[in-house]
Amino acid sequence: MQQKPFVLSMKVLVRDAKGGCLLLRRSMASKANAGKWDLPGGKVDPGEAFDQALLREVTEETGLTISLLRVAGSAESELPARKVAYLIMEGRVESGAIRLSPEHDDFRWVNVRELPSMDLAEQFQPFAKAYADSCAGEPVG
């Protein structure tokens, strides 16, 4: 039995100055998770450093420039031909205004406590709950 290869996908929970978390809604034309809320990010190209891949993806998808703060968690999913390992970072907005790519049709800044109740792609639901629980002591913005 041949095992499916793993690919790395980088995601980031972008926080703003008020502590809000940026979510992007995948367009209805998306092959995967159409209409679901998602975190900015994407695949790492061969030879590309994972942090640079994430910064590139965020700029492409949102128009924002961010800084990366720490590893916030992980997730995984299984596709027909491969398994996807997600490394989820926490970042903050440095500059820019939201300008969505065609991959997404809406965005929303949500309070960290709202994350678990959002209609996220299934693989990110456990992360959203754990992250919200870890931020339980944060003031409401």
32-62 pLDDT per residue, tens: 888 999 999 998 888 999 999 999 999 999 9
- Where would I find the beta strands (DSSP E) of the chain? 6-15, 21-26, 37-38, 41-43, 65-78, 83-95, 104-110
Q: What is the pLDDT of residue 12?
A: 98
CA 128 from centre of chain: 10
Task: Give the CATH number, domain containing residue 116.
Answer: 3.90.79.10
The residue type at 10: M
Q: Is the pLDDT of residue 11 over 80?
A: yes
In a domain, 83, yes or no: yes
Q: What is the pLDDT of residue 137?
A: 65
In a domain, 139, yes or no: no
pLDDT band at 18 (very low <50, low <70, confident <90, very high): confident
104 touches 67 (CB < 8 A): no
pLDDT band at 19 (very low <50, low <70, confident <90, very high): confident
Range of the domain at 106: 6-134
pTM (global) more than 0.95: no
In a domain, 1, yes or no: no
In a domain, 53, yes or no: yes
Q: Is the pLDDT of residue 27 over 90?
A: yes
In a domain, 141, yes or no: no
44 touches 53 (CB < 8 A): yes
55 touches 133 (CB < 8 A): no
Number of CB atoms found within 10 A of residue 102's CB: 9
Q: Is the pLDDT of residue 140 over 70?
A: no
Q: What is the pLDDT of residue 1?
A: 57
Phi, psi of 59 (to 5 degrees): -65, -45
Is the torsion defined by CA of 69, 110, 19, 93 positive or negative?
Answer: positive
Number of domains the chain contains: 1
Q: Which residue has the tokens 């809406």?
A: 106
In a domain, 30, yes or no: yes
